[in-house]
A and B are shown apart, each in its own frame.
Chain A
Amino acid sequence: MSDRLFNWYRFASPQAFYPLAGRMIPWFWALAALFGIAGLYVGFLVAPTDAQQGEGYRIIFLHVPASWMSMFIYLVMAFWAGLGLAFNFRLSGMMAQALAPTGAMFAFLSLWTGALWGKPMWGTWWVWDARLTSELILLFLYVGFIALQSAIDDPRRADKAGAILALVGVVNIPIIYFSVKWWNTLHQGSSVNLAKSSMATVMLWGMLLCALACWMYSIAVALMRVRRIMLEREKDTLWVREELAREAS
């Protein structure tokens, strides 16, 4: 094993990561709050009404960030899971496990806000449209991942089984993303286009700020959760005892 890889490995050890994560969490909370306030200010107070959709379009500032995060978190989770399967890092399984509930929450929020948007816009809460269906599948995948992991007692085995499921489910992500292109559906196509945005710049800004807020939020929550998982899984090691003793004092 080369020296560099070894260092990487040490850094990826829970023992080294735990205090680091603890120091990073407040910063991400601060960033999340900052972007969140800015995004909501722009989106709900500054942005003008949409010509076709009226005020209902403001759901976009919630719906799009939630949808993006649900997909993005899945990719990150699958990445960690695959890493764990390939190299047997202890940290990677914990990261995957920590990300899943937050991802599931955003998938649910994407569905919820989408449904609440669909009623006024399309006149129905739900259609079996490709994007909507694949987003629903994403939520199921998250739930399945969580359920599978919690059904297996041995954490090593749980990590591996979860990793396989996560990797199999990755095919769903491009389907969600490109479904509006591949099938002509009720759902809106992609309108964020850096070259020539079809949206008013203000709207775009609001959306991006909200998305950034969700991103920072996800990182903060995932770090919190991974720290909890580390304590739980490594409770018999020396470092957890020392860490807890240090925190108490």
Chain B
Amino acid sequence: MIYWNSLADFLAMGKHGLYVWGSFIVMAALMILEPILLARSRKSLIARLKRQYRAEKLDNHHPPREDNP
């Protein structure tokens, strides 16, 4: 079933290992990085919002807007 004979063959990709793996690594890295960055920015946003809400509660102005689409 599997086409390759050895790991070295697999990594060499004929003569084109550099190109194939260059593509693969960049693509994989970006696709892994994007969700990680997103999750982190979401976390920091939530922390910021919570701080802001607490500050508002403390000086008690800025009533929350009703949702009006």
Contact = CB atoms under 8 A, between A and B. Distances in A.
A and B touch in the complex (CB under 8 A): yes
A157 interface: no
Interface string B21-34: 01110110011001
Contact of B67 (A15, A55, A117): A15
Interface string A42-86: 001111110000111011001100100000000000000000000
Contacts of A45: 2-4
B49 A240 contact: yes
Interface string B10-23: 10011110011011
Contacts of A227: 42
Secondary structure at the B interface, as helix, strand, loop or mixed, is helix
Given A55-B14, A109-B27, A237-B67, A48 B3 contact: yes
B4 A54 contact: no
A228 B52 CA distance: 16
Interface residues of A, number: 50
B45 A228 contact: yes
Interface in A197-249: 217, 220-221, 224-225, 227-228, 231-232, 234-241, 244, 247-248
B66 interface: yes
Interface residues of B, number: 36
A228 B41 contact: yes
B58 interface: no
Contacts of B46: 231, 244, 247
Contacts of B14: 49, 54-56
B3 A235 contact: no
Contact of B64 (A63, A119, A241): A241
A92 interface: no
A105 B52 CA distance: 32
B16 A54 contact: yes
Nearest to B39: A224
A206 to B, nearest CB: 12
Question: Which of B22, B23, B35 has most chain A Cβ within 10 Å?
Answer: B23
Contacts of B64: 236-238, 241
Max chain A CB contacts within 10 Å: which of B3, B22, B27, B67?
Answer: B27
Contacts of B30: 105, 108-109
A34 interface: no
A56 B4 contact: no
Contacts of A165: none
Interface of B: 1-4, 10, 13-16, 19-20, 22-24, 26-27, 30-31, 34-35, 38-39, 41-42, 45-46, 49-50, 52-53, 62, 64-67, 69
Ranked 8 nearest A-B pairs via Cβ:
A55-B14, A56-B16, A55-B13, A113-B23, A54-B14, A116-B19, A238-B64, A116-B23
5 contacts: A56-B15, A66-B27, A105-B30, A108-B30, A235-B52
